[in-house]
Amino acid sequence: MAQRKNLTMRAYKIFRAPEYEQLLRDGESAGSPVDLADGYIHLSTASQLAGTLTKHFAGETGLRLLAVETELLAPLKWEPSRGGDLFPHLYRVLRVADIVWTRDIGIGPDGHITGELE
């Protein structure tokens, strides 16, 4: 299993509106249905985000983008996924306290609009 260590960067989680509302209400979330099925929370790096939106959220509205700092998440594993690329997977609940910032994901004629990623 491939793993990166001591990597400081942002990762991103996409939630649908009901999933985000549940996170705010409960202070933590075990993730979306696919996260629950797989046993970990799927995150994406900035370079992986567009592909994640296209593959899993095409045409969906009401999406929320959450940014987290990878070095503050444990246990976080970098595991191969789409095309062998290493994706960050969080093996615990995501807590409101983990979130650096959050914003709506817009949708335009060419697809989802996330704005500048920090």
pTM of structure: 0.88
- CATH topology for the 10-111 domain: ADP-ribosylation fold (3.20.170)
Mean pLDDT of 46-72: 94
DSSP notation for the chain: -----S---EEEEEEEHHHHHHHHHHSEE--SHHHHHHTSEE-B-HHHHHHHHHHHHTT--SEEEEEEEGGG-TTEEEEE-GGG-EEEEESS-EEGGGEEEEEEEEEETTEEE-----
- Tell me: pLDDT of 79 over 90: yes
- Tell me: pLDDT of 118 over 80: no
Give the model confidence (pLDDT) of 100-112 as tens digits.
999 999 888 878 8
- Tell me: pLDDT of 116 over 90: no
Residue 52: per-residue pLDDT: 94
> Which stretch of 50-54, 65-69, 79-83 has the lowest confidence by average pLDDT?
79-83
Give the model confidence (pLDDT) of 1-35 as tens digits.
444 444 569 999 999 999 999 999 999 999 999 99
Give the model confidence (pLDDT) of 63-78 as tens digits.
999 999 999 999 999 9
